[in-house]
Structure 1
Amino acid sequence: MKIVQVLATSGGIGGLEQHTFNLANELSQQHEVHMIAHPCYAEKFNPQVHFHAVDFARSRWNILLLWQLKSLINQIQPDIVHAQAGKAAELIAKIRAWLQPVKFVSTVHGTKKNKSAYAAADAVIAVSQALTQSIPPAKAHVIYNGVHAQPRLSDQQKQRLKAEIYAQHPALDASRKIVMCIGRLEPVKNISLLLQAMQGIDANLWIVGDGSLRQRLESQMQQQNLQHQAAFLGFRSDARDLIQLADAVVLSSDREGFPLVMVEALQADKAMASTKVNGVVEWLPEPYLAGTGKADELHAAIINALSAQAEFQPLFARAKAELTVQAMAGQTLNIYEQLLQK
């Protein structure tokens, strides 16, 4: 099977991008995969993936971009064109009439009211059940995001990593439990809510990630007198190792599609507390969920997560079985094959 994947973002790496890297690399083990993406992502793909650099910083109405996409896809002559997220779906929908016969698949990664571009596809994959809303039922499929299992750290490696963090943040009490948040310091992640929710909880808060709100959030930390309890670790390439040090992982977002941090936490056998965002509500039990924007509810959910373990055991096992790159790729291939048989 010859597959074209289209990723139309142009810079950052979040769940959408990581999903696409994982899917394309996995599919390339058995099929001919062509990746059309911004040149900044070239090194994220294995040598089996045929990478085609396109400047997606341009507008989705840019005639030269549309012409370049049309020409490139017709040159490749794929069986499947798979657009990842809204901009890519809209671009392919615009040029489809000028493409040689091909099956068009799109994936919805986030909340968006206007899904007309997705509906133009032959099949629409949503990364959570909630994201299938307003997609014709005959076209809609749900495939959860998957990740590769992270190698487990030895006890010695954990102690070394923990010592490194506490050496960098000497104000923290190293005897406390660790609540961990991993995410961009941007409005949608609502780290401000998490700082409010941590008030009165006897645990350290490690915030892994960077973004435009860092200075404001650090000021809030000082105002709430949390400087001996909370630490901003900045961007860390070893975030998935750090998760293994946590006693609980927390998500305080206002919106999500299907958060990879939940997948990574459950695969690492870590209890979670979260706001009621897409994907999470399909997995976590009610005591560990809070209304979006509700600091008091998130406070209670964090306390519950810090003392939880038994209730999460079935979720840990399910995550290791279902939320894998192999499962995600296999389900995606099934959709491709169904389309090609029609």
Structure 2
Amino acid sequence: MKILLLITGLGLGGAEKVVISLADQLFVAGHQVKIAYLRGEIEVRPQPAEIELIPLGLNSLANFSHSAQRFAQIMQQFQPDVVHAHMFHAILFARLLRRSAQIPYLICTAHSKAIGGKARQWLYRLTDRYSDVNTNVSQEATDFFIAQKAFSAAKSTTVSNGIDTQKFQFSALARQQLRQQLGYSAETPVLMAVGRLMQAKDYPNLIQAFRLLQQTQPKAQLLIVGDGVQRAELEQQVQQLNLADQIRFLGVRHDVAELLSVTDVFVLSSAWEGFGLVVAEAMSCERVVVATDCGGVKEVLGEPEWLVPPQNAEMLSKKLVQALQLSTEQKAQLGQQHRQRIQQHYSMQSMLQQWLALYHLSTERTAS
């Protein structure tokens, strides 16, 4: 089967990682895959060099005609069975070109509950007729899109993200080596957060929660992995709270799977989320997870004990203290339960099979 994945950009976000992983898995399964992206630089790449990455150059509306012509050429040359568009701009682009570019079957995937305002809601609704299937990454997000009439119920479903459970697994060796590199002893309580330094992730809330936590856990350390527009602001907040010796910004890292083994508790402090991919990755690494109740995080965790309301530093702090106070045996038991849940419900193989089932609807329709 020939599949063209279309995405807004190939930056370092969760949606981009999911699309790259999907491309990898489709290629390994014997399908022909290409990825077209609207704009920006390439920051994530598929593993097989055979998967072509095609820039469409849509850096502004002035380039729309050129980008549309380029996309039509790709369609004519590659002749995919399915075009699978991810995120708002790519979805809108594909829907607008559905007829002129002769897209045979179009799947449109949003990656969060955030529609993006009234204008986007109206555009989703106006162009809905041009997609064959709409999906989102959590049931809550799918239901919300349907309730807001951004997606039509008749052709909408949920396909949860999947992660590579072989890559994301606990390593005692990585824990020991990286703790030594970071200057932590085996007994140092370490918390970690991963994600772009942007408003949605609400790192100011996490930093305030960590400040409160220091009153009872003065030896605790916090690692923040990622970069973004708020970095300088967050570093200033840490300095003002005299926490520079306890909070470390690691920037962009490509060894997140190994770093997760370093931590005792993984924390997600987001004000809003889509699926919460990093939560699943931490669970796959058998980590205790404390998270804000946003997006699809509740569905991934499966139970509410370790959830707190968004934008509530005091409750987040209390839950983090509770997690750190678990015995070694309790942490290990909870971690094992987490990994089993991810293997059963959120593995890459599970995600792949769900997508292939939707892709094969295109061939069934052609045959009929």
Q: Same fold (TM over 0.5)?
A: yes
Quote the Cα distance in structure 2 between the aligned partners of 1:227 and 1:123.
Answer: 48
Alpha-carbon distance, 1:147 to partner: 1.7
Cα offset for 1:200?
3.5
User: What does residue range 117-156 of structure 1 map to in structure 2 within 5 Å?
Assistant: 117=127, 120-132=130-142, 133=144, 134=146, 135-148=151-164, 149-150=166-167, 152=169, 154-156=171-173
Structure 1 position 101, deviation (Å): 5.5
Letter matched to residue 108 of structure 2: S
SS at match of 1:5: strand
Cα distance change, pair 154–86 in 1 and its aligned pair in 2 (3 A): closer
Aligned counterpart, 2:19: 20
Distance 1:73 1:282 in 2: 37
Query: Which residue in the other structure is 2:36 paired with?
Result: 36
Distance of aligned partners of 1:58 and 1:28 in 2 relative to their CA distance in 1, 3 Å threshold: farther
In 2, the alpha carbon distance for the partners of 1:174 and 1:261 equals 24
Q: Encode CA deviations 1:212-261: one digit per residue, 9 max, x unaligned.
A: 22222122223223233222222222122111111110011111111221
- Between stretches 68-77 and 326-335, larger displacement belongs to 68-77
Q: CA deviation at 1:316?
A: 2.1
8 Å contact from structure 2 (residues 168, 257) kept in 1 = no
Amino-acid identity (%):
29
User: Aligned partners of 2:53 and 2:74: how far apart in 1?
Assistant: 12
| Range that drifts further, 208-217 or 300-309 | 300-309
In the alignment, the residues of structure 2 paired with residue 290 and residue 89 of structure 1 have an alpha-carbon distance, to the nearest angstrom, of 33
CA–CA distance in structure 2, aligned partners of residues 119 and 197 of structure 1 = 46
Matched, 1:248 2:248: no
Equivalence for 2:305: 287
Change (3 A) 1:118 1:24: farther
Secondary structure of 1:206's aligned partner: strand
> Contact 1:89–1:118 (CA<8 Å) still a contact in 2?
no
Residues 147/216 of structure 1: CA separation in 2 closer, same or farther (3 Å cut): same
Q: Which moved more, 1:218-227 or 1:26-35?
A: 218-227
Task: Specify every segment of 5 or more residues in structure 2 that has no aligned partner in the other structure, as ranges.
Answer: none
* Aligned counterparts of 1:226 and 1:126: Cα–Cα separation in 2: 39
Normalized against structure 2, the TM-score is what? 0.84
Partner Cα distance (1:75, 1:142) in 2: 31
Query: Residue 271 of structure 2 contacts residue 292 of structure 2 at CA under 8 Å; is this kept in 1?
Result: yes
Contact 2:212 2:314 in 1 (8 A): no
Which of 77, 88, 102 does residue 75 from structure 1 map onto?
77
Q: Contact 2:159–2:355 at 8 Å: present in 1 too? A: yes
Match of 1:273 among 290, 297, 302: 290
* Native 8 Å contact 2:91 2:108 kept in 1: yes
Q: Specify the code of the residue in structure 2 equivalent to 1:288.
A: W
- 1:47 equivalent in alignment to 2:64: no
Give the structure 1 partner of residue 87 of structure 2.
Answer: 85
Q: How many residues are matched? A: 336
Q: Are the equivalent residues in 1 in contact too, given 2:137–2:274 (CA < 8 A)?
A: yes
Question: Is the 8 Å Cα contact of residues 273 and 289 (structure 1) preserved in structure 2?
Answer: yes
Give 1:173 deviation, angstroms: 7.7
SS of the residue corresponding to residue 287 of structure 1 reads coil
Corresponding residue for 2:107? 105
Q: Which residue of 2 aligns with 1:341?
A: 364
Q: What residue identity is the alignment partner of 2:60?
A: R
The SS at the match of 2:77 is: helix
Offset at residue 41 of structure 1 (A): 5.7
Amino acid at match of 2:131: A
